[in-house]
């Protein structure tokens, strides 16, 4: 099987929506990264996501919906969760809440909670409307590898494992959604930083949001949300974070957080021309892939500066997980 890449015509969108209703997988663009979508209410279809990605069964899926009304059919919302959904949906915010019985256990890795969000990308929203079902959609890449932000990234990674890829161009934001655990409304917990920052969450809720260090090992019986493994988003080439930057030697790729003033060497890449954190996030995975494909023996990365409440927290979270050592010699 070789994946077909579809342009977003009305006819193709109807075809892909029908495929989703039949239990097939469709890689679709979101504003964050490309997701590998399946009918979230179809346990067999959800299992196909795990198979195609090589994803461990203890790593739950994010379920995508159109809006708060649809989300409340799948999860038990409380007042703080509704407040965040009204403020940030559609957008890059995932809420972890007690699940309703209609959500199959495979989508939640057997746990009592579900991770849920309403995407902002117009093509993801059109597919949701046309399919008429919620869509489970983790990143559309082999498990643990760099997340895809273009249809070509998906084709390169999963092109022989899935049949359908919807091309929506390059993703606007470039890093995965912020994840907040609100199962205890009195103690919101930030499980994964993203474009919605800790400061924005705190301002909206009017209370502190506790940051969870979710960097756990492969042996956890069940993770509370995606993106919490110690090693994730990782190139195959060993990656080293260099807080004190020195020019990389021959055979080593260097990625700077902003473009250097002088003409760069052939082994230098950069995340942003002007040092914009939004641009760093948008280009993060693309530049990691380019360096990974360059036959270097190592990749050095200069992390962007920033405080724990801002966008730099999300970028540095991804870099630290990408740089984490493999356990037991296994690739992520």
226 located within any domain: no
Look at residue 222 and tell me if it is in a domain. Answer: no
Question: Do 32 and 132 belong together in one domain?
Answer: yes
Identify the weakest region by mean pLDDT among 101-105, 183-187, 223-227. Answer: 223-227
Same domain membership, residue 139 and residue 287: no
Over range 63-85, report the average pLDDT. Answer: 98
Question: Does the pLDDT of residue 89 top 60, yes or no?
Answer: yes
pLDDT band at 196 (very low <50, low <70, confident <90, very high): very high
pLDDT band for position 263 (cuts 50, 70, 90): low
pLDDT at 4: 98
Q: 203 and 254: one domain?
A: no
Higher pLDDT pick, 310 / 97: 97
Whether the pLDDT of residue 309 is over 80: the answer is no
Instruction: State the Cα–Cα distance between residues 133 and 127, nearest whole angstrom.
Output: 9
Establish if 232 belongs to a structural domain.
Answer: no
Give domain status of residue 231, yes or no. no
Spatial distance between the Cα atoms of 151 and 267, rounded to a whole number of angstroms: 26
Q: Is 198 in the same domain as 295? A: no
Q: For residues 68 and 126, state if they share a domain.
A: yes
Average pLDDT over residues 103-128: 98
Please list, in sequence order, all residues whose beta carbon lies within 8 angstroms of the beta carbon of residue 172, skipping any fewer than 6 positions away. 31, 121, 282
Residue 152 forms part of a structural domain: yes
Both 124 and 253 in one domain: the answer is no
> Mean of the per-residue pLDDT values for the chain?
93
- Here the CATH number for the domain that contains residue 58 is 3.90.870.10
Answer yes or no: is 233 within a domain.
Answer: no
Are the C-beta atoms of residues 30 and 169 closer than 8 Å to each other? no
**How far does Cα 130 stand from its chain's mean position?**
23
Examine the pLDDT at 330 and tell me if it is beyond 60.
Answer: no
Q: In the Cβ-directed half-sphere of 188, how many Cα atoms lie within 13 Å?
A: 25
Is residue 1 predicted with pLDDT exceeding 80?
no
Specify the pLDDT at position 217. Answer: 44
Residue 219 has pLDDT above 50, yes or no: no
Domain that holds residue 300: 239-323
Burial category of 265 from C-beta neighbours within 10 Å (exposed 0-12, middle 13-18, buried 19 and up): exposed
Count: domains in the chain: 2
Residue 13 and residue 70 in one domain: yes
Q: What is the CATH number of the domain that holds 284?
A: 3.40.50.11030
Same domain, 188 and 40: yes
Q: Which range is least confidently modeled, 23-27, 174-178, 208-212? A: 208-212
- Whether 61 maps to a domain, the answer reads yes
Angle at 79 between CA 73 and CA 80, to 5 degrees: 105
Shared domain for 70 and 200, answered yes or no, is yes
Q: Is residue 112 part of a domain?
A: yes
* Mean of pLDDT values over 50-70: 97
Determine the distance from the C-alpha atom of residue 128 to the mean position of all C-alpha atoms in its chain, rounded to a whole number: 18
Describe the strand order of the beta sheet including 164-166 as a list of residue ranges: 4-6, 164-166, 26-28, 35-39, 135-136, 62-64, 113-117, 93-98, 178-181, 189-192, 210-211
Same domain, 53 and 202: yes
Q: pLDDT for 147-163, tens place per residue?
A: 999 999 999 999 999 99
For residue 329, the model assigns a pLDDT of: 36
The pLDDT, as a whole number, for residue 228 is 80
């Amino acid at each position: 099987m070789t994946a077909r890449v579809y342009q977003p015509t009305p006819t193709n969108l109807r075809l892909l929506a029908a495929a989703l209703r039949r239990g097939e997988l469709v890689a679709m663009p979101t504003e964050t990264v490309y997701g590998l979508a399946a009918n979230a209410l179809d346990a067999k279809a959800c299992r196909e996501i795990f198979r195609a990605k090589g994803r461990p069964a203890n790593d739950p899926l994010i379920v995508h919906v159109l809006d708060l009304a649809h989300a409340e059919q799948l999860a038990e919302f409380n007042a703080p969760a509704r407040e965040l959904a009204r403020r940030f949906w559609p957008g890059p915010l995932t809420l972890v809440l007690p699940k309703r019985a209609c959500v199959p256990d495979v989508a939640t890795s057997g746990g009592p909670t579900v991770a849920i969000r309403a995407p902002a990308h117009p093509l993801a929203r059109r597919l949701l409307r046309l399919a008429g079902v919620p869509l489970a959609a983790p990143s559309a890449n082999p498990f643990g590898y760099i997340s895809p932000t273009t249809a070509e990234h998906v084709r390169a990674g999963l092109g022989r494992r899935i049949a359908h890829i919807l091309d929506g161009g390059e993703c606007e934001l470039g890093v995965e959604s912020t994840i907040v655990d609100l199962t205890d409304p009195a103690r919101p917990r930030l499980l994964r930083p993203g474009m919605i920052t800790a400061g924005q969450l705190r301002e909206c809720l009017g209370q502190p949001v506790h940051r969870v260090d979710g960097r756990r090992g492969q042996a956890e019986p069940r993770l509370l949300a995606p993106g919490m493994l110690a090693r994730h988003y990782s190139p195959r080439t060993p990656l080293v974070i260099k807080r004190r930057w020195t020019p990389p030697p021959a055979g080593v790729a260097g990625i700077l957080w902003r473009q250097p003033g002088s003409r760069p060497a052939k082994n230098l890449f950069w995340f942003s021309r002007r040092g914009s954190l939004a641009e760093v996030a948008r280009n993060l995975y693309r530049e990691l892939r380019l360096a990974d494909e360059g036959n270097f023996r190592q990749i050095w990365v200069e992390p962007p500066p920033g405080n724990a409440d801002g966008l730099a927290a999300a970028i540095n979270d991804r870099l630290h997980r990408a740089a984490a050592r493999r356990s037991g010699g296994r690739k992520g």
